[in-house]
Amino acid sequence: MVPVGQDEMDALPLNRLGEGERAVIAYAKSHREYLAGLDDLQARMLAEAVGLRVVGIIGVLFRAKREGLIPTVRSQLDALRLAGFRLTEDLYQGSLQLAGEETDRVADR
């Protein structure tokens, strides 16, 4: 965890985000060289509204595969699903397709 001052979080526009999401946005706002790592749609929208660059977990997985840090996106997506990460079937299959991995859909083959 990185330190974020309450003043930095209070300076954000009014929102209903949780403390963790607000802290990520506040930190990225004061450290513009970083991307804001967010998956929640409302958090992403706020971050983009204040001019931040945003990446979600799937984007991180694509980069990790491209850099040879992980062999497949599928194994990581499966682990995320098992851990309770909500991921629609369309997003799951589309992510596999974008990663150049075999999908489970007959129509995609």
Looking at residue 109, its pLDDT comes to: 44
Looking at residue 108, its pLDDT comes to: 46
Domain coordinates of the chain in residue numbers?
6-55, 57-98
- Res 85 pLDDT > 80: yes
Question: Considering the entire predicted model, what is its pTM?
Answer: 0.78
| pLDDT tens track for 7-45 | 888 888 888 898 899 999 999 999 989 999 999 999 999
Please identify which residue in the block is written with the tokens 């799951």: 92
User: Under a CB-based contact definition with an 8 Å cutoff, are residues 52 and 28 in contact?
Assistant: yes
User: Under a CB-based contact definition with an 8 Å cutoff, are residues 102 and 93 in contact?
Assistant: no
d(CA 80, CA 97): 18
| pLDDT tens track for 36-80 | 999 999 999 999 999 999 999 999 999 999 999 999 999 999 999
Burial label for 3, CB within 10 Å (0-12, 13-18, 19+), is: exposed
